[in-house]
A = this chain, B = another copy of it.
């Protein structure tokens, strides 16, 4: 495995690496969820193709400086995981090498990013689009694997690929969960013990809402109210949003007629967790 810090060097090496090249963009702090993405990439690239993993805590997608500062960066452990999972190229740039001080180009999204996480995290998805496009351009990837856990991010990236004719195939991969149902996230390690014990209620609340849906309920408000009550029973958790949205437009839905998603974001202290569940007849 080659570890490359310099963007120009990565671009030169990746673009002449054996095809297909499959990219897994990450912010590091790799857990089993990431590693499932990496192993999927390895399968897709085949034994003769190239798997590239980027490890970059992208400053321009953080709306809160405290969240950026607290983001875990266990680089050596991440590189060991990459080696174990058969990665060929690990790209580990510094922020100063990715962004010029007079940077003035941003990829912006004006519709899907208005709701859910985007509503309370101004600029977040523009930062995501900008860095992902840079990583695509640097790597010359044929395909890239993204976790379904960040389902709004996945929708925004698919929209970017569509609207800008980006020649990269987007491969979604299912959310991995802890045995108690909590969606895997690098932020889970920052939860206090009592918060970690409480956090599985997020998944349980979503499952309860799906049960309601599957028993025939079609009012989004009714479907959202049940898990809301369950979450509000927590002495620690603070709901950021809990909304039923259309799967394609991410617009809030009032009556469920087409496939929709119930999405939730919640804080434990300053740790923000997200999860979602599909509501499909």
Q: Are A104 and B100 in contact (CB under 8 A)?
A: no
* A265, chain B: closest CB distance, angstroms: 21
A150-196 contacts to B, CB under 8 A, are 159-160, 162-167
CB of A165 within 8 A of CB of B134, answer yes
Interface of A is mostly: mixed
Least Cβ distance of A107 to chain B in Å?
6
| B-side contacts of A28, CB under 8 Å | none
B163 touches A104 (CB 8 A): yes
**Max count, chain B CB within 10 A of own CB: residue among A110, A129, A160, A165:** A165
Which one of B100, B110, B140 lies within 8 Å of A163 (CB-CB)?
B100
Q: Which of A4-48 contact B (CB under 8 A)?
A: 7, 11, 15
Chain B residue with Cβ nearest A7 = B165
- Chain A, 120-155, contact with B by CB distance < 8 Å: what is the 0/1 string? 000000000110011001101000000000000000
Q: Is A106 an interface residue (CB 8 A)?
A: yes
Set of chain B residues within 8 Å of A108, measured between Cβ atoms: 105-108
Q: For A112, list chain B residues within 8 Å (CB).
A: 104
A–B pairs, 10, beta carbons within 8 Å: A11-B167, A100-B162, A100-B163, A102-B249, A103-B163, A104-B111, A105-B108, A105-B162, A107-B107, A137-B165
